[in-house]
């Protein structure tokens, strides 16, 4: 008799699997887990913590990563009866953490994931009517405010990983603080890993701080003697060095993203290939946001005797996830960060040095279960002199369009006086208002329009939402919803293995036949896949990542449901490419660029020099006028996902934003000032 929760749990292949054939064995396993819970640093504080929660409406909780805050506190609250009054909610800044922690807690409670314990992340709701402990991303809780502005179904809300200071968490602070005023019975917990507790307490009107002393073993910090030019190379060499010279213990390496992790994995596999039994077995476990959940589970599996686990992680392993058994940390000192210039309105992802606080967190991962070592791939001098003390909160370095639209839909009109913990730059706020006005989501008094209300229904950037709503007018909602879903998956549709790059590129170029542009190529990929009845074989043959396609299909299904909610009929005209492009332009007219004599581009408003990304189907074609989806900064500012447009569409689609002389070909390089600018009071 198989037990069902094991199947549904996202951790096949872990210890559970082994125990899963008999009910008695599972019971034994659960007992063992209950014993494990008691060994966590938070356990001795269980009663005191519950007392403090009874006494105070708002409590700031501070404790070392791995002490048990995320997995245990919601269970304690449930055991103490809070779940009889309402749900226990817990927010996480990261998708992967929400899923993984929910799975863990479901396991500890011996229930099926999605029943009593569930999670909700964008495009994936794994909860049900029986859910009493709900983990969710901070962004999802923000969206819940739209349907339940007083969080009436919750008895406790725990805003976890508060120190991460993501944009959504910062906005949540203001909203939940407000709720505590008119719902005296709701409990609010703000938990964090680092030393910002005082700041949180001040913000929440002097809420008491509950400290959970951590167990910390000493961690030796090692710096490089000289700066390393190539940290990817340096990191892989260090892994191998540790592997052959250091005593047992797993290794955790921090990278900035999926591409780096995959590259490192390849290098490590290549270098250890053929060494056979000359070295101990090395188990390489990547972990990043887009990794499928069955592979995420691998990082938690116990390392077999004699082998060594090497976890290649993004920032997610800094505080959101705790992996037991890590003894060595390799810290290249970088992370990928959003940056935003309110002057140009441009947002890009850039690789930047981490802060001192982040570096200390990273090092701390090595000393959780025994003494450890942290290898910093930078010099002691650069740590002292080149790294900021703390990471700048996201709210101060991102485009606020999304959040402003959300707050406006919640009826919060006076954004300048919103209770921000750290306010965003006024210029950024104005920019967001201006952009929403240009999109038609706000009127000239800054109030939400009917269009804006419809746009707010979608968990997407305002530009994408606008494109979806506009597809109604251009009678191509089927096509646009597909394009939206494909864009939302990110840049992981095309597969380009190192040894088959030529084949992969040829396969990719097939979808670009006729230089239709990247959006339409993505549409073609999806439609052809659909025609083969979603065939995996077809994906292999065409160098398409089947996993990404399945995700696109899921997202597409959800978006279709939302279209129905805002009463947009399915319409389709696959051969009318102009209409499809016009619908895209309706959302993205902000992102227009014109070809220059030297082959680079110049954006039309707030002129900037940009180029078409080499991965684009149009990178050799260089059309005169383009609309792009996003900018990425690598060696230069690149436009990624590009289509060609006709300049007069801009005047047709956004007459309040573009005047004829903005888009006239002759003399267009001279930028008229102050034309078509939105005014907002």
Which spans of this chain sit near Mg ion (rule: CB under 5 A)?
70
With CB under 6 A as the contact rule, the residue among 90, 101, 467, 521 that binds ligand ADP is 101
Helices (H), 623-678: 647-653, 660-663
Quick check: helix, strand or coil at residue 368?
coil
Instruction: Look at residues 545, 538, 537, 542 and name the one whose alpha carbon lies nearest to residue 507.
Output: 542
Quick check: helix, strand or coil at residue 670?
coil
Q: What is the DSSP string of 17-32?
A: HHHTT-HHHHHHHHHH
Q: CA 643, CA 630: separation in Å to the nearest integer?
A: 12
Q: CA 493, CA 133: separation in Å to the nearest integer?
A: 34
Q: CA 378, CA 366: separation in Å to the nearest integer?
A: 18
120 and 134 Cβ atoms separated by less than 8 Å: yes
For residue 160, the minimal CB distance to Mg ion (Å) is 6
With CB under 6 A as the contact rule, the residue among 100, 361, 585, 603 that binds ligand ADP is 100
Tokens standing for residue 451? 């269009």
* Cα distances (Å, whole numbers) of residue 89 to 43, 203, 216: 20, 21, 29
Q: Is 345 in the site for ligand ADP (CB under 6 A)?
A: no
Q: Max CA-CA distance within the chain?
A: 80
Q: Is 74 in the site for ligand ADP (CB under 6 A)?
A: no
> Which residues is 448 bridged to in the sheet?
442
For residue 158, the minimal CB distance to ligand ADP (Å) is 10
> 493: buried, middle or exposed (CB in 10 Å: 19+, 13-18, 0-12)?
buried
Select the binding partner of residue 66 from ligand ADP, Mg ion, none (C-beta < 5 to 8 A, by kind): ligand ADP
For residue 69, the minimal CB distance to Mg ion (Å) is 5
Q: Is 315 in the site for ligand ADP (CB under 6 A)?
A: no
Query: 360: Cβ–Cβ under 8 A, 6 or more apart, which residues?
Result: none
With CB under 6 A as the contact rule, the residue among 46, 87, 104, 177 that binds ligand ADP is 104
For residue 197, the minimal CB distance to Mg ion (Å) is 15
Select the binding partner of residue 63 from ligand ADP, Mg ion, none (C-beta < 5 to 8 A, by kind): ligand ADP
Q: What is the DSSP string of 72-94?
A: HHHHHHHHTTHHHHSEEEEEES-
Helix axes 46-55, 69-79, angle to 10 degrees: 70
Select the binding partner of residue 159 from Mg ion, ligand ADP, none (C-beta < 5 to 8 A, by kind): none
For residue 135, the minimal CB distance to ligand ADP (Å) is 11
373 and 248 Cβ atoms separated by less than 8 Å: no
For residue 660, the minimal CB distance to ligand ADP (Å) is 58
Q: Is 91 in the site for ligand ADP (CB under 6 A)?
A: no
Tokens standing for residue 460? 């997407």
Query: By CB under 6 A, which span of 101-109, 218-226, 431-439, 465-473 interacts with ligand ADP?
Result: 101-109
Q: Is 324 in the site for ligand ADP (CB under 6 A)?
A: yes
Tokens standing for residue 299? 């990082």
Nearest residue to Mg ion on Cβ basis: 70
Q: Is 70 in the site for ligand ADP (CB under 6 A)?
A: yes
Tokens standing for residue 67? 């002490």
224 and 382 Cβ atoms separated by less than 8 Å: no
3-state helix/strand/coil string of 140-188: HHHHHHHHCCCCCCEEEEEECCHHHCCHHHHHHHHHHHHHHHHCCCCEE
Nearer to Mg ion, 70 or 180 (CB): 70
Select the binding partner of residue 157 from Mg ion, ligand ADP, none (C-beta < 5 to 8 A, by kind): none
Query: By CB under 6 A, which span of 68-76, 81-89, 402-410, 492-500 interacts with ligand ADP?
Result: 68-76
Select the binding partner of residue 300 from ligand ADP, Mg ion, none (C-beta < 5 to 8 A, by kind): ligand ADP
Select the binding partner of residue 444 from ligand ADP, Mg ion, none (C-beta < 5 to 8 A, by kind): none
Q: Is 362 in the site for ligand ADP (CB under 6 A)?
A: no
Query: By CB under 6 A, which span of 98-106, 218-226, 270-278, 588-596 interacts with ligand ADP?
Result: 98-106
With CB under 6 A as the contact rule, the residue among 9, 62, 63, 291 that binds ligand ADP is 63
Q: What is the DSSP string of 197-231?
A: HHHHHHHTTT--EEEEPPP---EEEEE-SS--S-H
For residue 101, the minimal CB distance to ligand ADP (Å) is 5
Q: Is 69 in the site for ligand ADP (CB under 6 A)?
A: yes
Select the binding partner of residue 103 from Mg ion, ligand ADP, none (C-beta < 5 to 8 A, by kind): ligand ADP
Interface size with ligand ADP, residues (CB under 6 A): 17
Q: CA 518, CA 103: separation in Å to the nearest integer?
A: 37
Taking the CA atoms of the chain, what radius of gyration do you get in angstroms? 26
With CB under 6 A as the contact rule, the residue among 71, 471, 545, 579 that binds ligand ADP is 71
Q: Is 367 in the site for ligand ADP (CB under 6 A)?
A: no
Nearer to Mg ion, 70 or 477 (CB): 70
Q: Is 452 in the site for ligand ADP (CB under 6 A)?
A: no
Residues present in the chain in total: 681
For residue 299, the minimal CB distance to ligand ADP (Å) is 8
Q: Is 592 in the site for ligand ADP (CB under 6 A)?
A: no
Query: By CB under 6 A, which span of 63-71, 282-290, 543-551, 625-633 interacts with ligand ADP?
Result: 63-71
Q: Is 68 in the site for ligand ADP (CB under 6 A)?
A: yes
With CB under 6 A as the contact rule, the residue among 29, 45, 135, 300 that binds ligand ADP is 300
- Contacts to ligand ADP by CB under 6 A: 40, 63, 65-72, 100-101, 103-104, 300, 322, 324
């Amino acid at each position: 008799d198989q037990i069902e929760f094991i199947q549904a749990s996202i951790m096949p292949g872990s210890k559970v699997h082994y125990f899963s054939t008999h009910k008695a064995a599972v019971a034994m396993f659960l007992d063992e887990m209950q014993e494990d819970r008691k060994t966590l640093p938070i356990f001795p504080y269980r009663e005191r913590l519950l007392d403090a929660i009874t006494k105070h409406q708002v409590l700031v909780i501070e404790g070392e990563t791995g002490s048990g805050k995320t997995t245990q506190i919601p269970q304690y609250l449930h055991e103490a009866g809070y779940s009889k009054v309402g749900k226990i909610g817990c927010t996480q800044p990261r998708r992967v953490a929400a899923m993984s922690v929910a799975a863990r807690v479901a396991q500890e409670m011996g229930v099926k994931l999605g029943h009593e314990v569930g999670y909700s992340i964008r495009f994936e709701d794994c909860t049900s009517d029986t859910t009493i402990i709900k983990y969710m991303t901070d962004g999802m809780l923000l969206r819940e405010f739209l349907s339940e502005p007083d969080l009436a179904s919750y008895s406790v809300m725990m805003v976890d990983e508060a120190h991460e200071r993501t944009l959504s968490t910062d906005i949540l602070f203001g909203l939940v603080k407000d709720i505590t005023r008119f719902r005296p019975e709701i409990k609010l917990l703000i938990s964090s890993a680092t030393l910002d507790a005082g700041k949180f307490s001040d913000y929440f009107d002097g809420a008491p701080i509950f400290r959970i002393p951590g167990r910390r073993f000493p961690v030796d910090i090692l710096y490089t003697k000289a700066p390393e030019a190539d940290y990817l190379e340096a990191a892989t060499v260090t892994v191998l060095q540790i592997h052959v010279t250091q005593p047992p213990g797993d290794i955790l390496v921090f990278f900035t993203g999926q591409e780096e992790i995959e590259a490192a994995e390849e290098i490590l596999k290549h270098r250890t290939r053929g060494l056979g039994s000359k070295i101990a077995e090395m188990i390489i476990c990547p972990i990043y946001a887009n990794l499928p959940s069955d592979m995420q589970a691998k990082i938690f599996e116990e390392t077999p005797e004699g082998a060594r686990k090497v976890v290649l992680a993004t920032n997610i392993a800094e505080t959101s996830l705790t992996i037991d058994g890590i003894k060595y940390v390799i810290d290249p000192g970088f992370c990928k960060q959003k940056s935003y210039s309110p002057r140009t309105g441009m947002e890009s992802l850039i690789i930047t040095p981490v802060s001192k606080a982040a570096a200390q967190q990273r090092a701390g991962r090595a000393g959780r279960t025994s003494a450890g070592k942290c290898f910093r791939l930078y010099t002691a001098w650069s740590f002292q002199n080149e790294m900021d003390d703390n990471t700048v909160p996201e709210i101060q370095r991102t485009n606020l369009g999304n959040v402003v639209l959300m707050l406006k839909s919640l009826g919060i009109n006076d954004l300048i006086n919103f209770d921000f913990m750290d306010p965003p730059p006024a210029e950024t706020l104005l920019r967001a208002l201006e952009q929403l006005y240009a999109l038609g989501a706000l009127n000239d008094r800054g109030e939400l329009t009917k269009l804006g209300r419809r746009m707010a229904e979608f968990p997407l950037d305002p530009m994408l939402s606008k494109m979806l709503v506009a597809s109604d007018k251009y009678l191509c909602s089927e096509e646009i919803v597909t394009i939206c879903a494909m864009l939302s998956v990110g840049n992981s549709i095309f597969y380009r293995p190192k040894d088959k790059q030529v084949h992969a590129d040829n396969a990719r170029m097939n979808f670009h036949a006729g230089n239709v542009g990247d959006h339409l190529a993505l549409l073609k990929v999806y439609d052809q896949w659909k025609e083969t009845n979603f065939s995996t074989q077809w994906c292999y043959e065409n160098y398409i990542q089947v996993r990404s396609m399945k995700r696109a299909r899921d997202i597409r299904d959800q978006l279709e449901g939302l279209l129905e909610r805002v009463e947009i009929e399915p319409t389709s005209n696959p051969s009318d490419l102009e209409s499809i492009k016009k619908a895209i332009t309706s959302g993205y007219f902000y992102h227009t660029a014109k070809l220059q004599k030297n082959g680079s581009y110049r954006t039309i408003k707030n002129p900037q020099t940009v180029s078409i990304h080499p991965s684009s189907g149009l990178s050799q074609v260089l059309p005169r006028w383009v609309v792009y989806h996003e900018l990425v900064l690598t060696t230069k500012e690149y436009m990624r996902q590009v289509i060609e447009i006709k300049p007069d569409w801009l005047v047709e689609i956004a007459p309040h934003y573009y005047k004829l002389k903005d888009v006239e070909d002759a003399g267009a390089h001279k930028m008229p000032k102050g034309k078509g600018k939105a005014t907002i009071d």
